[in-house]
């Protein structure tokens, strides 16, 4: 086993303190990246009747290409930022995001529209872990909980902004205008980041592991494709079963490669940490419930309640309230993550049970109350879960930890949409299927909450089993 390389002088240089301008800049970046996950959903009717004349499959890929590329590249993108510089990764991500948005805005064919969405997804994969890693490096141990609360708020606000922006564009503008607006916005954010965000030290001892990166990315693509397309083709169809089998084989191949490699992308034995397993499951669970709600929410408000796209975007604003107010209070209880996480996830499950009772005659204020319960639960548990994932890895792998955590979020989001869509497909319409779908998701959330609470140890520092070994604790430079 090679001896560690000497630590360069740059490591001893003091780390700049986290300034408010930096915090606002990086949170704005992750907000914009997250907003494009949901924004296109409200533009599907306009896209279907556009001059591109996309097929049903092309519409699905317009929605899904961003999510699949985004989630599949998060882990290697996080490692890339750790190795070559987090600020550089963030700026490169903003450039890719803008290039993809411009491609989509000017696309003369559905194929180019989908390509642009994929390019933007690759940019978002660079942006998201870089932003969290920058905050983790600059905030210091005493302020990390508050920094994660702000970052989590930005994620939540991104989902809301995507729904609101998509609704407004669907009613008053065009889908091309929405994509076009992302180009100057990303350019403005890049300028702000360049002037407000300091560079952090690079982890020169981290390795990108090209073969491992290809294997893991392919495994995640297969998994996400199977989850997203399962309701369309049927969970027992040969195509979906083959995709899941390929995903399992690729995951096994990555694991074997990583265990044998001297310089793996990351050591799979990090998952021997109970806290990392529980925190990852918790993040998957929270976004599983949240995106199940997102999937039916706009359909319920438009198709059942009769709201227009713009009013629908405004009607989900209660989901912002809990995410905006609760994380700051939750940061005070950062030293007691188990009750915070358990209560937050339970509130998401109970809120979904309440929302499952909504029908055409339900007054909007009553429905909004359940949205508030869900948003409060999300704001309560997500900062602690995010911190639990990132602190389970060595500090110089903060970007990789962010990639792991955000991958768990996106997989949970895809599962939430898939399970909800599967249950809805068994009913004649949304009005009859929304209740059973949300109840199914709620019960799964509550069951998973019990598993997270059981696995999340209240006492003791986060364990670092394999991650702290000589092989994975690389010197930084």
Predicted pLDDT of residue 3: 39
CA pair distance 466, 274, nearest whole angstrom? 12
Backbone angles phi, psi at 261, to 5 degrees: -75, 145
Backbone angles phi, psi at 394, to 5 degrees: -60, 155
Predicted pLDDT of residue 477: 34
Predicted pLDDT of residue 17: 66
- In order along its 477 residues, the chain shows pLDDT tens digits of 343 433 333 333 445 567 888 889 999 999 999 888 878 877 777 887 778 888 777 877 887 788 888 888 888 888 788 777 888 899 999 999 999 999 999 999 999 999 999 999 999 999 988 898 888 778 776 777 777 778 877 877 787 777 777 777 777 788 888 899 999 999 999 999 999 988 877 665 556 678 888 888 898 888 888 887 887 788 888 889 999 999 899 999 989 988 888 877 777 887 777 888 888 899 899 989 988 888 788 778 877 888 876 777 678 778 777 777 777 666 667 667 788 888 999 999 999 999 999 888 889 899 999 999 998 898 888 888 887 777 776 666 666 677 777 788 888 888 888 888 888 888 888 888 888 999 999 999 999 999 888 877 644 444 444 443 333 344 333
Predicted pLDDT of residue 183: 94
Determine how many CB atoms are found less than 10 A away from the CB of residue 289. 31
Predicted pLDDT of residue 5: 39
Q: Are 459 and 385 in contact (CB under 8 A)?
A: no
Predicted pLDDT of residue 74: 84
Determine how many CB atoms are found less than 10 A away from the CB of residue 288. 27
Overall pTM > 0.85: no
Q: Are 91 and 194 in contact (CB under 8 A)?
A: yes
């Amino acid at each position: 086993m090679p001896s560690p390389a000497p630590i360069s002088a740059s490591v001893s240089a003091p780390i700049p303190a986290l300034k408010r301008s930096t915090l606002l800049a990086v949170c704005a970046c992750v907000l914009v990246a997250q907003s494009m996950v949901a924004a296109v959903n409200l533009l599907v009717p306009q896209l279907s009747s556009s001059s591109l004349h996309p097929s049903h499959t092309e519409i699905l890929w317009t929605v899904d290409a961003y999510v699949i590329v985004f989630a599949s590249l998060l882990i290697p993108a996080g490692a890339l930022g750790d190795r070559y510089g987090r600020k550089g990764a963030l700026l490169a991500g903003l450039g890719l995001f803008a290039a993809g948005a411009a491609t989509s805005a000017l696309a003369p064919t559905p194929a180019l529209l989908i390509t642009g969405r994929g390019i933007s997804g690759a940019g978002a994969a660079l942006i998201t872990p870089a932003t969290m890693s920058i905050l983790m490096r600059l905030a210091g141990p005493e302020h990390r909980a508050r920094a994660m609360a702000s970052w989590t708020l930005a994620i939540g606000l991104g989902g809301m902004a995507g729904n609101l922006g998509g609704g407004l564009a669907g009613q008053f503008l065009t889908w091309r205008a929405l994509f076009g607006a992302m180009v100057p916005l990303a350019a403005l954010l890049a300028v702000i980041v360049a002037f407000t965000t300091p560079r952090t030290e690079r982890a020169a001892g981290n390795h990108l592991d090209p073969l491992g990166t290809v294997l893991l990315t392919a495994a995640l693509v297969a998994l996400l494709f199977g989850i997203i397309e399962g309701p369309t083709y049927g969970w027992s169809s040969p195509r979906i079963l083959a995709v899941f089998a390929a995903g399992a084989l690729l995951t096994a191949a990555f694991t074997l490669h990583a265990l044998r490699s001297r310089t793996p992308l990351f050591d799979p034995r990090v998952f021997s940490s109970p806290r990392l397993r529980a925190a990852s499951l918790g993040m998957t669970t929270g976004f599983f419930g949240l995106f199940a709600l997102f999937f039916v929410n706009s359909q319920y408000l438009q198709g059942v309640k009769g709201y227009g796209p713009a009013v629908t975007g405004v009607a989900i604003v209660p989901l912002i309230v809990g995410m905006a107010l609760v994380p700051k209070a939750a940061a005070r209880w950062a030293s007691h993550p188990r009750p915070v996480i358990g209560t937050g996830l339970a509130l998401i499950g109970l809120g979904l049970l309440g929302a499952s009772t909504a029908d055409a005659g339900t007054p909007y204020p009553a429905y909004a109350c359940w949205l508030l319960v869900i948003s409060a639960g999300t704001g309560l548990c997500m900062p602690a879960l995010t911190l639990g994932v990132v602190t389970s890895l060595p500090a110089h792998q903060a970007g990789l930890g962010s990639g792991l955590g955000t991958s768990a979020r996106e997989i949970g989001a895809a599962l939430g949409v898939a399970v909800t869509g599967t249950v809805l497909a068994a009913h004649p319409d949304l009005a009859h299927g929304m209740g059973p779908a949300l109840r199914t998701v709620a019960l799964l959330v509550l069951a998973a909450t019990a598993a997270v609470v059981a696995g999340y140890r209240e006492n003791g520092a986060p364990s670092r089993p394999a991650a702290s070994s000589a092989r994975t604790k690389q010197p930084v430079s």
